[in-house]
Amino acid sequence: MRYITQIRLEGGALHEHIARLRWKEQEGNQVGEASRAELVQWLRAGGDARVQTWPRDVKVAVIEARPPYLRTKANGVLTDNLLELPRF
């Protein structure tokens, strides 16, 4: 499982979108960085990404659009936990 720790936004005012994400593995302390498209592909292949929140982690889901994008789902409700993460 990967925990998303930071995001990079691109685009102008009112058109910002997540372009890159930094993550850390739950086991082994491995860290990395991926584009949104790379993380979408990894999730579609069976990967599991989450955002650490209190009281529990929330799962990152692929939203099928053109282009696909990422959102979190807490208790089955789409939320914006990714946009609350620190920027890099």
- Across 64-80, b (16+ Cβ under 10 Å) vs e yields eeeeebbbbeeeeeeee
Arithmetic mean of pLDDT, 10-23: 91
Confidence class of residue 15 from pLDDT cuts 50, 70 and 90? confident
Domains in the chain: boundaries:
2-84
Angle at 35 between CA 85 and CA 32, to 5 degrees: 70
Q: CB burial class (10 A; 0-12, 13-18, 19+) of residue 60?
A: buried
Q: How many residues does the chain have?
A: 88
Would you say the pTM of this structure is higher than 0.85? Answer: yes
pLDDT digits (tens, 9 = 90+) for 34-70: 999 999 999 999 999 999 988 889 999 999 999 999 9
